[in-house]
């Protein structure tokens, strides 16, 4: 089993409704959104697994200690199962 845990940055917005956006410094171009924190976590897992499904080597998991977050941001850890491919 090849499970990895990637940190993502989840931003909460209230500008045009209430929603969450997830991005990953580990996975270039990964961005997804959801109506709730749980929803965006599911979408982030799916996005990461989809983006890495044809890869034989996976990006290193980033060290989050140096990340500068905005007030509306938090780090969420996403477990991905890369053996599903």
Measure CA of the first residue to CA of the last residue in the chain; give whole Å.
11
The CATH classification number of 3-81 equals 3.30.160.250
pLDDT at 84: 59
pLDDT at 1: 52
pLDDT at 82: 80
The one-digit pLDDT tens for each residue of the chain (85 residues) are 578 999 999 999 999 899 999 999 999 999 999 999 999 999 999 999 999 988 888 999 989 999 999 999 999 999 998 875 4
- List of residues 6+ apart from 45 with CB closer than 8 A: 78, 79, 80
pLDDT at 33: 97
pLDDT at 23: 98
């Amino acid at each position: 089993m090849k499970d990895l845990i990637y940190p993502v940055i989840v931003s909460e917005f209230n500008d045009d409704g209430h929603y969450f956006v997830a991005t990953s410094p580990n996975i270039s171009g990964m961005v997804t959104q959801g109506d709730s924190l749980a929803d965006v976590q599911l979408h982030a897992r799916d996005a990461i697994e989809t983006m890495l499904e044809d890869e034989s080597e996976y990006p290193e998991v980033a060290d989050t200690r140096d990340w500068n977050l905005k007030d509306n941001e938090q780090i969420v850890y996403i477990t991905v199962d890369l053996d599903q491919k």
